[in-house]
C-alpha cells in the first residue's frame, strides 16, 4: 500500500530506509486486522489469553521489568532555542537529538514488521481534532492505539485531505534503559521514541502528541491542550453542565470522571456523564464559550485501586475487550490487582505470587479499553463541535491550609490558582512530610514549551466578549488534627460540584475571602453525611497567616520562570497578598 499524500509516503520510505524492516504494514483499523494482531501476539507470547468466560476478549501483556512507566528524565523537548523549551522541560538541540535518535534507529527493525498507524485524536469529523501517523515495530502499540485513537482508513483519508499530520517514529529497540529516549520536536510536529514499549512512552498519540506537541499546536492556533478530565453533571431538570478538571497523579481524576452520585442525589435524578478521564482540548466557540473534546477514544487507566468500592464504573468498563498490562492473575486466569477480592496465583512478572517480591500487580499496572464501554460514557463525546465548558477545576493533595473549595474571582486569578496548584508529599511516600511539589495545571511533565509562555497563552483568552468558564480550586484531602481526612470524597464530591454549578447559574451567593469565594453557610448540601459543623468549618477555614506564607512561596515559584512569566500574574499575586495583609485575623469563613 502507498499513501496518496506524497509527504507521508516520503516520510514512511525514509523511516523504512533507516530502520530496515522485513515488512511494512499500513494499518486500516479493522476488526479483522485487530484479531490477526492478537493471534500473532498470543503465538509470540506478547499477549496471554485471560479467562474468556469471565473476561471475554481480554488479554494480558507483561512488560520488561525495566520498562513499566514514563521516563521523564529521558524525555526531551527539542526546540531550536533552548529558552523556548523552558526550565520546565529537559532540552536538547534538535540536530543533536535527531543524530542521537537516528543512530539508535539505524537497522533496529531488521527482521521485524514496520506498522504505519494513521490516527485521529478526537472525533474523526471534528474541527478540533488533529491527526498523526505513528510508525512502530510493536504490535502491542498498534492494538492499544486502535483503542485509544480513531485509527485506520478514515484517519488516513483525513490526513490526505488536510495534508498535515504529526510524525511519530517508535521502536521498542532492545528495551535497554541505557538506550531509551523520548524526543519531541514541536516546531516540526515530530516525535521520536526509542527503547520503551510502555504506554506513555510508546503510544505516541497519548501524552507525546495529545499534550506535548498539541500544547505547542494550541499555542500557535489559539486553543488549549490540557491534562484534564471532562465530566457532565445533569441535574434533575435535565440540564447538563460540563466541567473540565486538572489534578496531578493520585488525586482521583478517573474516579471524578466516572463519579457515582450519592444515593439521595440518584433518587432526585442527578446523573453523571463521562466525556474523558485524562486529556481535554478546548477552543473558543462562536458564542465566546470554550468548547472541549476528549482527543482520546479510550481509557489507559491505572488498575491497582480500581475496585467496586472506589470506581465501579471503571470496573464494569473493563469486564470485556480489554488489554491489561502488568496485572497479576488468579488461579483460574482472571486479572487481579490489589483492591480486588480473591487471591493472585501469578504476579505481574508471571512468577508464582510471593509477598516477599512486592505487590502482585505492578503499582502502575494498566488497562486499555474503549471509552464507549463505560456505563456513564456520554454520547456527546462524539460531538464534532465539543461540549461547552461551564467550569474549570484545579486541585491537589493538600492535608492543610487549602479549603475544600473556592472560586477564583476572575480569569487572571484563576490562572494564578491553576499555576500555583500542587500536592504535598506524605511520610509514607518520601519520609519527608509536607514537601510541596507544584505542578501548574497538572501539566509539569507535559507542557511542550516554556511555562511562562504557557501562562501568557492562558491569559490571552480573556478577551472582550469571551464567556469564559468560572475557575475553582478543590482539595479533597484536607485532614483534621487526628490525621484523618475531613471530607469523604468519591461520590460525595458531587456536593461540591453542585455548589460550583449553583455559582455558574448565579444561584449561590458564596462568601468573599482574600483567596476567593467560598460556600456560605448552608450552601453546601451535607444531609446524609456524617460530617459535623466543626469539621465543615475546618474544611472551609481560611488561615490568613498561613496563606500569606503561601503567597510568598508562590511568588518564589513564579520567579523561577524568569522574564517570560507574565507581569499580570505577578500583579495578581500582589493583589491577593495585599488582600490577605488587610484581612481580619483568622476568621472561620463558613460562619
Annotated binding site for Mn(2+): which residue ranges? 207, 227, 278
DSSP string for 277-346: SS-EEEEE-TTS-EEEE---SEEEEE-TT--TTT-HHHHHHTTSS-EEES-EE-TTS-EE-TTSSS--SB
Note if 251 is an active site residue: yes
CA distance 227 to 220: 18
Which three cell numbers, joined as nine digits, stand for 472?
Answer: 475553582
- Which entry of 27, 108, 251, 280 is annotated as an active-site residue? 251
CA distance 475 to 231: 18
212 and 186 Cβ atoms separated by less than 8 Å: yes
Q: Residues annotated as binding site for GTP?
A: 250-255, 366, 397, 490-493
DSSP string for 522-563: TTS--TT----HHHHHHHT---HHHHHHHHHHHHHHHHTTGG
393 and 500 Cβ atoms separated by less than 8 Å: yes
**Coil vs helix vs strand at 271:** strand
Sign of CA dihedral 216, 218, 222, 226: negative
Which three cell numbers, joined as nine digits, stand for 428?
Answer: 509514607
Q: Give me the helix-helix angle, 544-559 and 411-420, nearest 10°.
A: 80
CA distance 498 to 235: 9
Q: Residues annotated as binding site for substrate?
A: 70, 198-200, 249, 364-366
Tell me which residue of 129, 121, 124 sits closest to 168, measured CA to CA.
121
For residue 36, give Cα distances in angstroms to 41, 49, 78, 143, 433.
9, 14, 37, 10, 51
CA distance 70 to 53: 33
Which three cell numbers, joined as nine digits, stand for 170?
Answer: 517508535
CA distance 205 to 195: 17
Phi, psi of 240 (to 5 degrees): -115, 125
According to DSSP, residue 124 is labeled T
Question: Would you report the helix, strand and coil content of the chain in percent, each value rounded to 5?
Answer: 35, 20, 45
First to last CA, the chain: 70
542 and 69 Cβ atoms separated by less than 8 Å: no
Q: Which residues pair with 472 in a beta bridge?
A: 393, 407
Q: Residues annotated as binding site?
A: 70, 198-200, 207, 227, 249-255, 278, 364-366, 397, 490-493
Phi, psi of 274 (to 5 degrees): -90, 120
HSE (side-chain half, CA atoms, 13 Å) at 23: 8
Tell me which residue of 529, 433, 441 sits closest to 483, measured CA to CA.
433
Buried/exposed 481-490: b ≥16 CB within 10 Å, e otherwise: eeeeebbeeb
CA distance 250 to 297: 22
Catalytic residues: 251
Amino acid at each position: 500500500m502507498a499513501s496518496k499524500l506524497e509527504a507521508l509516503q516520503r516520510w514512511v520510505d525514509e523511516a523504512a530506509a533507516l530502520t530496515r524492516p522485513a515488512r511494512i504494514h499500513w494499518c486500516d483499523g479493522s476488526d479483522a486486522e485487530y484479531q490477526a494482531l492478537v493471534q500473532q501476539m498470543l503465538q509470540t507470547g506478547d499477549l496471554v489469553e485471560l479467562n474468556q468466560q469471565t473476561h471475554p476478549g481480554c488479554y494480558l501483556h507483561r512488560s520488561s521489568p525495566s520498562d513499566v512507566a514514563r521516563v521523564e528524565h529521558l524525555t526531551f523537548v527539542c526546540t531550536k532555542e533552548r529558552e523556548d523549551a523552558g526550565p520546565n522541560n529537559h532540552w536538547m538541540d534538535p540536530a543533536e537529538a535527531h543524530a542521537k535518535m537516528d543512530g539508535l534507529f539505524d537497522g533496529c527493525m531488521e527482521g521485524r514488521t514496520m506498522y504505519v498507524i494513521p490516527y485521529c485524536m478526537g472525533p474523526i469529523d471534528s474541527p478540533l481534532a488533529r491527526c498523526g501517523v505513528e510508525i512502530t515495530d510493536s504490535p502491542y502499540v498498534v492494538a492499544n492505539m486502535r483503542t485509544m485513537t480513531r485509527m485506520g482508513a478514515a484517519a488516513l483519508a483525513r490526513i490526505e485531505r488536510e495534508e498535515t499530520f504529526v510524525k511519530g517514529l517508535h521502536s521498542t529497540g532492545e528495551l535497554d534503559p541505557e538506550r531509551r529516549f523520548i524526543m519531541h520536536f514541536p516546531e516540526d510536529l515530530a516525535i521520536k521514541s526509542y527503547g520503551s514499549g510502555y504506554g506513555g512512552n510508546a503510544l505516541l498519540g497519548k501524552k507525546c502528541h495529545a499534550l506535548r506537541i498539541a500544547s505547542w499546536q494550541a499555542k500557535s492556533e489559539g486553543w488549549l491542550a490540557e491534562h484534564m478530565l471532562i465530566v457532565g453533571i445533569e441535574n434533575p431538570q435535565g440540564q447538563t453542565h460540563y466541567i473540565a478538571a486538572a489534578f496531578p497523579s493520585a488525586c482521583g481524576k478517573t474516579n471524578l470522571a466516572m463519579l457515582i452520585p450519592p444515593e439521595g442525589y440518584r433518587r432526585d435524578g442527578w446523573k453523571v456523564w463521562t466525556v474523558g478521564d485524562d486529556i481535554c482540548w478546548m477552543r473558543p466557540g462562536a458564542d465566546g464559550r470554550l468548547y472541549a473534546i476528549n482527543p482520546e477514544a479510550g481509557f489507559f487507566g491505572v488498575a491497582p485501586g480500581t475496585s467496586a468500592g472506589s470506581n465501579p464504573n471503571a470496573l464494569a468498563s473493563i469486564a470485556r475487550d480489554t488489554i491489561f498490562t502488568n496485572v497479576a492473575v488468579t488461579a483460574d486466569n482472571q486479572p487481579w490487582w490489589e483492591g480486588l477480592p480473591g487471591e493472585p496465583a501469578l504476579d505481574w512478572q508471571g512468577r508464582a505470587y510471593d509477598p516477599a517480591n512486592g505487590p502482585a500487580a505492578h503499582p502502575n499496572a494498566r488497562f486499555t479499553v474503549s471509552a464507549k464501554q463505560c456505563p456513564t460514557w456520554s454520547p456527546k463525546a462524539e460531538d464534532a463541535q465539543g461540549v461547552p465548558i461551564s467550569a474549570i477545576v484545579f486541585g491537589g493533595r493538600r492535608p492543610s491550609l487549602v479549603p475544600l473549595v473556592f472560586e477564583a474571582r476572575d480569569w487572571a486569578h484563576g490562572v494564578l490558582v491553576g499555576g500555583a496548584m500542587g500536592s504535598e508529599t506524605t511520610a509514607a511516600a518520601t519520609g519527608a512530610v509536607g514537601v510541596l511539589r507544584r505542578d501548574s495545571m497538572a501539566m509539569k511533565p507535559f507542557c511542550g514549551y516554556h511555562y511562562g509562555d504557557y501562562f501568557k497563552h492562558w491569559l490571552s483568552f480573556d478577551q472582550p466578549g469571551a464567556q469564559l468558564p468560572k475557575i475553582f480550586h478543590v482539595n479533597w484531602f484536607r485532614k483534621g488534627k487526628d490525621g484523618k481526612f475531613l471530607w469523604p470524597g468519591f461520590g460525595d464530591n458531587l456536593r461540591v460540584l453542585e455548589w460550583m454549578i449553583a455559582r455558574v447559574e448565579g444561584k449561590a451567593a458564596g462568601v468573599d475571602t482574600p483567596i476567593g469565594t467560598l460556600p456560605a453557610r448552608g450552601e453546601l448540601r451535607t444531609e446524609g453525611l456524617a460530617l459535623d459543623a466543626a469539621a465543615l468549618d475546618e474544611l472551609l477555614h481560611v488561615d490568613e497567616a498561613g496563606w500569606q506564607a503561601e503567597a510568598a512561596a508562590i511568588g518564589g515559584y513564579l520567579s523561577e520562570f524568569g522574564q517570560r512569566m507574565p507581569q499580570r500574574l505577578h500583579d495578581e499575586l500582589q493583589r491577593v497578598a495585599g488582600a490577605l495583609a488587610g484581612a481580619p485575623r483568622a476568621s472561620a469563613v463558613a460562619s
